[in-house]
């Protein structure tokens, strides 16, 4: 059983039902002993009545007078008592009619006992001495057994009801006990590198669970401090690198312009400049990411119609695509406006476009589909490349992940999509990659919240 809740429920149900069963068994035993003891007392009372009816002079009476007196004493309660009286020679002296001629067997050495009498049933028998006679008074045990059978029936009914009730109570109890654990679980699950300041709510009471929550919060405090230090370090490092890099670049440019370098020397200075530009770009990207992690990036949201934004982007995208021998097609549907940071979303789309151009074959087509509907602006870029597996679709958004470093774009850093994701996140949107339709490459979908978009039919992107 994997769930603690289920274990608590089962444990509670079994324990309470077992306790109840033990109580009932003990009750059964005590009730049976009590009832049988009562029968013994009734038998004794009947014997005393018999003795009183016979009177003190019973030894001097004739057998027929004794017989009459005994009959007088026993006949009135003939359904309840069986009387068997015999003398010293064991020849029967008196037997009540209800014995139908049978004798009550005598168990040697026992004065009260239960015994089965032929055709009469089980009797509880008490043996008394009325010298020179032995008197055996018996009472049927059937009513006692009937009562015990009724008791058992009630017991099994109650046991079943108890089992059901204890399962319900155990379930509710386990839910109540585990509620703080679930709160811890949900909060711990939510805490990631970008919301490390969130903490588990700690209850006022000082129990084991609140202690655990406190310990976890202390651990999150330490983690947050370390993360902050790492972020500060990468921001500082990027910053510190930029100044010497600019100086090196400046010197290389001056070398290129002023000195009399031969062709091969000029070429190597050119390579240096290109590499410096690449390093500079990586530093900028790293700086952006560490500032985004530290939530130090602000976005400048401007309410606008997507058509206008896309029109501007389409112009540049088309030129860029043509340069690569690829066709760029853009299409927008839907009415309304969106609030986005123009520059940043453009940066995202350009990044996606460059990636798509890197994988598209000459003569291929890149489609940008835009749909504004139901409060969401959905942009979807589809290329003609080889596409990716579902695992790769998630991987590519991680930092420094380049699945094809030897591909067409040797200048890529593997940070473009990580930056795109953090920009989309700043807009409270979502970006994901999926394998596109059969025959096409990768589809990257961006969803941005758009407050006043009108519902548009056929949201197919
Ligand atoms: N449209 C695409 N089709 C196939 N693979 C892609 C596509 N876009 C991105 N990728 C893969 O994802 C990796 C990461 O992309 P990105 O973060 O933009 O970094 P970079 O472009 O600098 O390599 C790329 O190196 C590439 O392998
Ligand atoms: Mg890229």
Residue from 326, 396, 443 whose mutation best tests the ligand 1 pocket (most atoms within 8 A of CB): 396
Rounded to 5 degrees, φ, ψ at 457 are: -65, 155
pLDDT > 60? residue 356: yes
Residue range 153-177: average pLDDT?
93
Tell me which of 417, 423, 431, 433 to substitute to probe ligand 1's pocket, judged by most ligand atoms within 8 Å of the beta carbon.
417
Portion of the chain with pLDDT greater than 70, in percent: 93
Cα separations (Å) of 227 from 120, 296, 301, 398, 401? 92, 15, 28, 17, 21
Ligand nearest to the CA of 412: 1
Is residue 63's pLDDT more than 80? no
Ligand 2 midpoint to CA 420 (Å): 9
pLDDT at 440 (0 to 100): 75
The confidence score (pLDDT) of residue 461 equals 40
Judge if the beta carbon of residue 114 lies within 6 A of ligand 1.
Answer: no
Binding site membership of 49 for ligand 1 (Cβ less than 6 Å): no
Q: Tens of pLDDT along 207-251?
A: 888 899 999 999 999 988 988 888 788 778 888 888 899 999 999
- Is the pLDDT confidence value at 408 over 60? no
Q: How many CB atoms lie within 10 A of CB 42?
A: 17
Q: Is any atom of ligand 1 closer than 6 Å to the C-beta of 413?
A: yes
Q: What angle do CA 56, 60, 64 make, to 5 degrees?
A: 105
CB of 392 closer than 6 angstroms to any ligand 1 atom: no
Give yes or no for residue 106 having a pLDDT over 60: yes
CB of 351 within 6 A of ligand 1: the answer is yes
How far is Cα 308 from Cα 292, in angstroms, rounded to an integer?
28
Euclidean distance between CA atoms 169 and 176, whole angstroms = 10
Task: State the pLDDT confidence band at 98, using cuts at 50, 70 and 90.
Answer: confident
Whether 177 has a pLDDT exceeding 70, the answer reads yes
Rounded Cα distance between 452 and 375, Å, is: 6
- Which ligand approaches the C-alpha of residue 413 most closely? 1
Choosing from 354, 355, 409 the residue with most ligand 1 atoms within 8 A of its CB, the one to mutate for a pocket test is 355
Residue 145 has pLDDT above 70, yes or no: yes
**Rounded Cα distance, 394 and 435, in Å:** 11
With 60 as the cut, is the pLDDT of residue 276 above it?
yes
pLDDT on residue 459: 39
- DSSP assignments along 198-266, one per residue: ------SS-SHHHHHHHHHHHHHHHHHHHHHHHHHHHHHHHHHHHHHHHHHHHHHHHHHHHS---HHHH
Whose tokens are 């795109």? That residue is 420
> What structural domains and CATH numbers belong to the chain?
4-147 (3.30.450), 208-293 (1.10.287.130), 302-449 (3.30.565.10)
Higher pLDDT residue, 175 or 258? Answer: 175
- The string of DSSP letters for 55-79 reads -TTGGGS-HHHHHHHHHHHHHTTTT
Chain mean position to CA 38: 57
Helices (H) and strands (E) in the chain, counts: 9, 12
- Evaluate whether 152 touches 28 at the Cβ level (below 8 Å): yes
Ligand 2 center to residue 382 CA distance, Å?
15
- The confidence score (pLDDT) of residue 460 equals 41
- Does the CB atom of residue 416 touch ligand 1 within 6 A? yes
Q: Is 184 near ligand 1, meaning CB less than 6 Å away?
A: no
Please report the DSSP string for 320-345 in residue order: HHHHTT-EEEEEEE--S-EEE-HHHH
Nearest CA to ligand 1 atom 21: 412
CA pair distance 241, 281, nearest whole angstrom: 12
CA 269 / ligand 2 centre spacing (Å): 26
pLDDT band per the 50, 70, 90 thresholds, residue 438: low
CB 379 within 8 Å of CB 370: yes
Give the pLDDT confidence score for residue 445 in this predicted structure.
96
Around ion ligand 2, residues with a beta carbon closer than 5 Å are: 355, 416
Residue among 348, 358, 389, 418 whose CB has most ligand 1 atoms within 8 A, to mutate = 358
CA 442–ligand 2 middle distance (angstroms):
14
Output the six-digit token pair for 239.
């910053």
> What are 153's two structure tokens?
């029936």
Give nearest CA residue, ligand 1 atom 12. Answer: 396
What token pair was written down for 307? 């058509």
pLDDT at residue 107 in the model: 85
Give the ligand 1 atom nearest the CA of 405. 25
Query: How far, in Å, is the centroid of ligand 2 from the Cα of 306?
Result: 24
- Residue 228, pLDDT score: 84
Residue 457 clears pLDDT 80, i.e. is over it: no
pLDDT value at residue 348: 97
Task: Answer yes or no: are the C-beta atoms of 450 and 428 closer than 8 Å.
Answer: no
Q: What is the 3-state secondary structure (H, E, C) of 381-439?
A: EECCCCCCCHHHHHHCCCCCCCCCCCCCCCCCCCCHHHHHHHHHHHCCCEEEEEECCCC
Where residue 436 falls among pLDDT bands split at 50, 70, 90?
A: low
Q: Are 387 and 440 in contact (CB under 8 A)?
A: yes
Average pLDDT over all residues of the chain: 87
């Amino acid at each position: 059983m994997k769930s603690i809740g289920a274990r608590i429920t089962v444990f509670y149900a079994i324990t309470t039902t077992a306790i109840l069963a033990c109580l009932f068994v003990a009750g059964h035993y005590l009730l049976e002993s009590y009832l049988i003891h009562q029968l013994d007392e009734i038998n004794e009372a009947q014997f005393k009545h018999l003795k009183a009816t016979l009177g003190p002079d019973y030894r001097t009476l004739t057998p027929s007078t004794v017989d009459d007196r005994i009959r007088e004493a026993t006949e009135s309660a003939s359904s309840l008592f069986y009387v068997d009286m015999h003398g010293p020679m064991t020849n029967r002296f008196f037997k009540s009619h209800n014995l139908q001629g049978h004798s009550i067997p005598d168990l040697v050495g026992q004065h009260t006992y239960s015994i089965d009498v032929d055709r009469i049933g089980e009797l509880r028998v008490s043996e008394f001495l009325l010298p020179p006679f032995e008197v055996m008074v018996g009472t049927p045990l059937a009513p006692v057994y009937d009562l015990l059978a009724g008791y058992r029936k009630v017991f099994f009914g109650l046991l079943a009801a108890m089992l059901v009730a204890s399962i319900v109570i155990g379930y509710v109890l386990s839910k109540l006990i585990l509620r703080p654990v679930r709160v811890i679980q949900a909060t711990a699950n939510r805490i990631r590198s970008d919301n490390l300041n969130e903490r588990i709510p700690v209850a006022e009471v000082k129990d084991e669970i609140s202690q655990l929550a406190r310990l976890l919060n202390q651990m999150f405090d330490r983690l947050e401090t370390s993360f902050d230090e790492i972020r500060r370090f990468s921001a500082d490092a990027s910053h510190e690198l930029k100044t010497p890099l600019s100086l090196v670049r400046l010197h290389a440019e001056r070398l290129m312009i002023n000195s009399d370098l031969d062709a091969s020397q000029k070429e190597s200075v050119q390579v240096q400049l290109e590499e410096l530009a690449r390093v500079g770009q990586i530093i900028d990207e790293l700086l952006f990411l560490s500032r985004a992690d530290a939530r130090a990036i602000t976005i400048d949201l401007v309410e606008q119609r997507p058509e206008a934004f896309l029109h501007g982007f389409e112009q540049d995208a088309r030129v860029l695509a043509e340069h690569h021998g690829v066709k760029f097609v853009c299409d927008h549907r839907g009415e309304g406006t969106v609030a986005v940071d123009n520059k940043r979303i453009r940066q995202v789309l350009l990044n996606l476009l460059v990636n798509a151009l890197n994988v598209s074959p000459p003569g291929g087509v890149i489609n940008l589909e835009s749909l504004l509907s139901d409060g969401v602006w959905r942009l979807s870029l589809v290329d003609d490349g080889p596409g990716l597996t579902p695992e790769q679709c998630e991987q590519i958004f991680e930092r420094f992940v380049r699945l094809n470093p030897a591909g067409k774009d040797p200048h890529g850093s593997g940070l473009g999509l990580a930056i795109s994701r953090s920009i989309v996140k700043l807009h409270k949107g979502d970006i994901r990659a999926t394998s596109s339709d059969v025959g096409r490459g990768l589809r990257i979908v961006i969803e941005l919240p758009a407050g006043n978009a009108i519902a548009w039919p056929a949201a197919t992107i």
